[in-house]
Amino acid sequence: MITDDKTNTVYISDILQTRYPQLHHSLWTMLREENVLLLELKNTKDIWCCDYMPVQVSDDEFVMFNYDPDYLYGEEYVLLITKQDDVIAPLSLNITKSNLVIDGGNIVRHERKVILTDKIFKENPHRTKTEILQELRYFLEAEEIIIIPKVPYDYTGHADGMVRFVNANTVLLNDFSKLGESYFEKLKKSITGQGLNITLLPWDGWRQKELSSDLGDYINFLHVGDLIIVPEFKEETNEAAKTIIRQCFPKAKVKGLDCVELALEGGVLHCCTWNIKS
């Protein structure tokens, strides 16, 4: 699979600029300074394009999973569900489709390794776990599929707000210790049991009263080429988080971007971007 450091183009929803003009301008400026192209996806219904866009597995191959989020069931959410084909059509991509129901935000990858939360089993109840894992290996051309327990209260069940690969042997993991020792130990074991090392990143999500808030989730950063843009909040841990990320990615230029307003809607930078190698 194409890793973030190999990408050079970032796409965003065509409604992001209207909803968050200041964030859009700051993001555009940061990317332009590093010669990264920023483009808009047309016909989107919400800003979280990472979830409904395909996964790039090689220079000219993409895999698109079925975007059918259970947290958007109900008449009041119909207008928020983006029709994937409407967005994909103008891009002329070489796409293979899978019937598996998976949000892009639940796919964290590095070359031949992939991490997802156990939400995928709930989303695909008519398939056995073995069938799901086999299909993931096939479509993503992966050698290892690592399943981690989702954050207990997170209705999306996305892995990209929990963990990110540093390299093939190490991951960044949010410090979820405030969620309880039992859960945190189970989470860490699901990762170290697969031979991966863990570097903990500060996480202030435990302070938030709203379950839909993503405040304090530094790990949901945008990594494109040699640039990493880290979400910043009104927290003392902003600098500590960026320092750890710089240590993990010494060749990258790490910048911070105020994402307080965006986070209150339930996601941050990785959620609202789709970066590819073009």
CATH number at residue 200: 3.75.10.10
How much is the mean pLDDT over the chain?
94
Q: Where are the alpha helices (DSSP H) in the chain?
A: 16-19, 21-33, 49-52, 84-88, 119-123, 129-140, 181-192, 238-248, 260-263
Tens-place pLDDT, residues 192-233: 999 999 999 999 876 665 556 899 999 999 999 999 999 999
pLDDT of 213 reads 81
Please state the domain count of the chain. 1
Name the pLDDT band for 80 (thresholds 50, 70, 90). confident
CA 71 to each of CA 78, 83, 84, 123, 162: distance values in angstroms, whole numbers, following the listed order: 11, 16, 17, 11, 18
Quick check: pTM over 0.85? Answer: yes
Cβ atoms of 253 and 224 within 8 Å: the answer is: no
36, 67 contact by CB (below 8 A): no
Number of C-alpha atoms within 13 angstroms, CB side, residue 130?
0
Sign of the four-CA dihedral 231, 233, 236, 237: negative
Confidence of residue 180 (pLDDT cuts 50, 70, 90): very high
To the nearest whole percent, how much of the chain has pLDDT over 90? Answer: 90
Please determine, for residue 115, whether its predicted confidence score (pLDDT) is greater than 60. yes
pLDDT score of 210: 53
Whether pLDDT at 185 is above 70: yes
The pLDDT confidence band at residue 79, using thresholds 50, 70 and 90, is: confident
pLDDT tens per residue, range 3-25: 999 999 999 999 999 999 999 99
**Which structural domain, as residue segments, surrounds residue 70?**
4-276
Distance CA 3, CA 58 (A): 10
